[in-house]
Amino acid sequence: MVATGAVLTVVPFLDMLLTSFKGPGEFGKLPFRFLPQAFDLSNYRTALHQLNLPLLFRNSVVATVVITGSTLVTSALAGYALAKLRFPGRDLVFRLVLSTMMFPPFLFFVPHFLILVHWPGAGGNDLLGRGGAGLTVSIAALVMSFLVSGFGIFLMRQFMLSLPDDMLEAARLDGAGEFTVWWRIVLPQTKPVAVTLTLLTFVNAWNEYIWALLVSTANPRLMTLPVGIQMLQSYLDPDRMVPVMMAGLVLSVLPVLLLFLLLQKHYLRGVLLSGLK
């Protein structure tokens, strides 16, 4: 069963990789050939020529790093408060956080976009948010909707619940404030689950398409790699379109694959320790 699952997971990736080396007219030709007739690197050259790779890569990296960093910080802070601090309405706040996970993210894209359009004092807007494009023309538009993650808060809270309260109380009796307890005692012990959250957030932010497409309609200079690769369809000969797009996808997948290989051990440990199935 495990071997079957592994094959079903790996085969699509291998097909994408091998298709990226196929020459003109090979894709879609019957009978189907899994291997290319000759390994052709011209698809990668075409993808690099058609894509403004430095700009797309910069936008993707900046957005992904900011989103991942913000998610880690806000999730660790909120998770600690909901797991180890006692205050009125704590359970209600946690239920509200959980409720944000019940809705698909794209449900909020239009309200978020309108908020960015009418952001006061930005993009030519006055103090009432009128007259300009707001934050939709700045790179902040790529990250503003993803700075906090309900799932990240939930993941951190579940892990922090397992930390013994006696250790935290001992630190408080020694004069440590709440920030010191969080920074010096709690945070170092969350490394496994933090790595898990880093990988999940990084992959989701790197592959985000719908929001990046919406933002790039206001400012094409904000286009990211997934949007740019999809736009390749507009510039390519149909006989070469799919292999060149696969070459672009391979280039896009490499950073995520490298990060996962580097952090795989910590990721698996974090999933086990957080109690996720």
Tokens found for residue 244: 């060149």
Query: Phi then psi for 228, rounded to 5 degrees?
Result: -60, -40
Q: Which residue has the higher pLDDT, 65 or 8?
A: 65
Give CA 130 to chain center in angstroms: 31
Please work out, in degrees rounded to the nearest 5, the angle formed at the alpha carbon of residue 243 by the alpha carbons of 239 and 248. Answer: 135
Q: Name the pTM for this structure.
A: 0.85
For 159-192, what is each residue's pLDDT tens digit? 999 888 888 888 888 888 889 999 999 999 898 8
Please work out, in degrees rounded to the nearest 5, the angle formed at the alpha carbon of residue 178 by the alpha carbons of 174 and 182. Answer: 100
The predicted pLDDT at position 268 comes to 63
The sign of the dihedral angle between the CA atoms of 80, 86, 87, 88 is positive
Q: Helix 238-274 crosses helix 150-160 at what angle (to 10 degrees)?
A: 30
Of the chain, the end-to-end C-alpha distance in Å amounts to 17
- Beta-carbon contacts of 19 under 8 Å, excluding residues fewer than 6 positions away, are 27, 36, 242, 243, 246
Tokens found for residue 100: 């944000």
Q: Which residue has the higher pLDDT, 235 or 164?
A: 164
Mark 29-61 as b/e (b = at least 16 C-beta within 10 Å).
eeeeeeebeeebeebbebbeebbeeebbbebbe
* Strands (E) located in the chain: none
Please work out, in degrees rounded to the nearest 5, the angle formed at the alpha carbon of residue 199 by the alpha carbons of 194 and 201. Answer: 90
The predicted pLDDT at position 129 comes to 83
The predicted pLDDT at position 239 comes to 62
- Beta-carbon contacts of 91 under 8 Å, excluding residues fewer than 6 positions away, are none
Q: Which residue has the higher pLDDT, 256 or 206?
A: 206
The predicted pLDDT at position 47 comes to 81
Q: Which residue has the higher pLDDT, 243 or 80?
A: 80
Give 157-216 as a DSSP string.
HHHHTTS-HHHHHHHHHTT--HHHIIIIIIHHHTHHHHHHHHHHHHHHHHH--HHHHHHH
The predicted pLDDT at position 276 comes to 47
Q: What percent of the chain has pLDDT over 90?
A: 30
* Class of residue 8 by CB neighbours under 10 A (exposed 0-12, middle 13-18, buried 19+): exposed
pLDDT band at 95 (very low <50, low <70, confident <90, very high): very high
Least confident of 99-113, 234-248, 250-264: 234-248
Task: Say yes or no to pLDDT of 62 above 50.
Answer: yes
Q: Which residue has the higher pLDDT, 35 or 216?
A: 216
Task: Say yes or no to pLDDT of 67 above 90.
Answer: yes
Q: Which residue has the higher pLDDT, 150 or 128?
A: 150
Whether 123 contacts 132, CB under 8 Å: yes
pLDDT band at 51 (very low <50, low <70, confident <90, very high): confident
Q: How confident is the model over 1-6, as a mean pLDDT?
A: 72
Task: Say yes or no to pLDDT of 277 above 50.
Answer: no
Dist CA 104 CA 101 (whole Å): 8
The predicted pLDDT at position 137 comes to 86
Tokens found for residue 263: 């952090």
Mark 92-114 as b/e (b = at least 16 C-beta within 10 Å).
eebeebeeeeeeeeeeeeeebbe
